[in-house]
Amino acid sequence: MGVWQEIWNTVRSEFSDIPDVAQVTLITVRLLVAVALGGLLGWERELRGKAAGVRTHMLVAAGAALFVLIPQQAGASLADMSRVMQGLIAGVGFLGAGAIILGNQQVSTRGLTTAAGIWLTAAIGVAAGTGREATAVLATFIALLIFVAVPWVVRSIVGVKRESPRE
């Protein structure tokens, strides 16, 4: 066997983790669903001028989906998948913490809703990545209701708008 044939065989084997068209379709659908749903949440946040917008939410959802897709492809056990998700949940918590800014001179916290949204976006990505697309869509719908409707309901009940939003 020639050198070029050996190089070609090595490259081909490195890209053989997706064995057939069905697997390509499955992975593509799951990643695209995660990205689309993350994008919806990010779009809502960006419309409100929040720090984490469309790209951030899309990347968090895609990353979370990928973190569960890879072990699935490798044949990870349920216990192994549980550990992957535990690490993901903790890691995204740190990412969300970066969205929270604590004031030094007065008691004020900003970014909690954005941080919680990033955390939920990761969970939606996990749902899509594990093949629970309907659950991911439902969770996205509920998150959008929380982002959009709850502030409106609170303002209606309280009767006034907060002077400085805490998100």
pLDDT, tens digit (0-9, with 9 covering 90-100), for 89-98 = 888 877 777 6
Closest CA to 130 of 95, 88, 163, 81: 81
- pLDDT exceeds cutoff 60 at 150: yes
Q: In angstroms, rounded to a whole number, what is the distance separating the alpha carbons of residues 51 and 66?
A: 24
Task: Please indicate whether residue 136 or residue 17 has the higher confidence score (pLDDT).
Answer: 136
State the pLDDT confidence band at 42, using cuts at 50, 70 and 90: very high
Closest CA to 93 of 111, 115, 109: 115
Closest CA to 42 of 121, 105, 119: 121
pTM equals: 0.80
